[in-house]
Copies of this chain bind each other. A is one copy, B any other.
């Protein structure tokens, strides 16, 4: 672990640097598969499913029987846990519904804003060792609240041609309308162009490896929106002597086990706490099943001592963490002052895992500094805001002259004409 004392501001950029990956090699592969899926549809999907997942499938759609089988495989204990998480996620995202905003900007000029659901969306859920059924909840629950008509889920089949039952269970529970056994680049390409089996969607959500990440980026060049750009997961904790060192260490480790490139940072005004957390990390690390992964991430982690809370806050806003835990006497100071963070966890009894699973907030959050310019996934991610205006005769008389003057000044005569014609017709009538 790297302990850093009182770093000068001009070194922050270097200290807080995130690992960058070159994606040039991957891009060529991704572009090729996109081209082939665009041209050949299911034939190409079959080819790459065979290459990457090692299985030939006749039918990509998960059947009702398969879903029922999955439901039978899930313990009632896990079903209960999923239900509790789903309820909390539902409540928090339901509360995000916004009313129509309506205003008469000037007499006779009524403007309003309404949100309408994105009609067709795609969710990508990775396969592999960790079946991210929690991500199914995080994406399908708000999609259903938003009112998206088609909610398509793609996830890669295992060697037996199956999707993990917990993923199927969660998808079925949360109103996914179609589940497809397709993964990787071919899944993203399929949802971008549409194939015989895979519906074309308007927006793609969800995590994935670097191939999926690059594929999602490429999808945006074909008119598809994505939830946000991706990067390795990260956690920054600010803590002082009111924090419990073992809790802090456990949170840092829960981030570290995600991957060797996970970013783990502790900022503190207490050298004592830093030392105690360091010892705790070593002790807790020993017994973790994913020790090797966590160990590597911890090696790159930073424990940073700063003299005061204002400096800490400045440094944190410079970094813009995805997850930000506050265990400080001055938690209000940090809550009010933080402008760049994905999700904020306050107090000793608010571990990051709570937000990852069950508190109700969304766990699909901006990494890689994107907290400076992107929101985490929320109800609005599944909707578009549209504006409406209705202008009366009186209304056009009130703003018509201003429009004519401005259109003329911008050299757009036909824009002016559209108003002039209307004003004249009203004058003539009088």
Contact = CB atoms under 8 A, between A and B. Distances in A.
Interface of A: 77-78, 80-82, 84-85, 87-88, 91-92, 95-96, 98, 101, 103, 105-106, 109, 111, 113, 116-119, 129-134, 166, 202-203, 217, 220-221, 223-225, 229, 244, 246-247, 250-251, 253-254, 256-258, 284, 288-290, 294, 335, 338-362, 366, 368-376, 378, 380, 383-393, 395-396, 399, 401-403, 405-407, 409-419, 421-422, 425
Contacts of A411: 129-131, 289-290
B393 A132 contact: no
B91 A395 contact: no
Contacts of A360: 103, 105-106, 109, 111, 389
Contacts of A284: 414, 417
Nearest to A221: B217
Nearest to A397: B349
Nearest to A376: B387
A220 B224 contact: no
Contacts of A116: 338-340
B359 A288 contact: no
Given A354-B396, A359-B109, A406-B82, A289 B389 contact: no
A284 B414 CA distance: 9
14 contacts: A78-B406, A85-B402, A85-B406, A88-B105, A88-B111, A92-B113, A217-B221, A253-B417, A284-B417, A294-B414, A351-B418, A352-B418, A354-B391, A359-B399
One complex includes copies of this chain to the number of 2
Contact of A353 (B88, B290, B393, B415): B415
Most-contacted residue by chain B among A348, A368, A389 (CB, 10 A): A389
A247 B392 CA distance: 14
A134 B410 contact: yes
Contacts of A375: 383-386
A86 to B, nearest CB: 10
Contacts of A395: 349
A132 B409 CA distance: 9
A347 to B, nearest CB: 6
Nearest to A225: B373
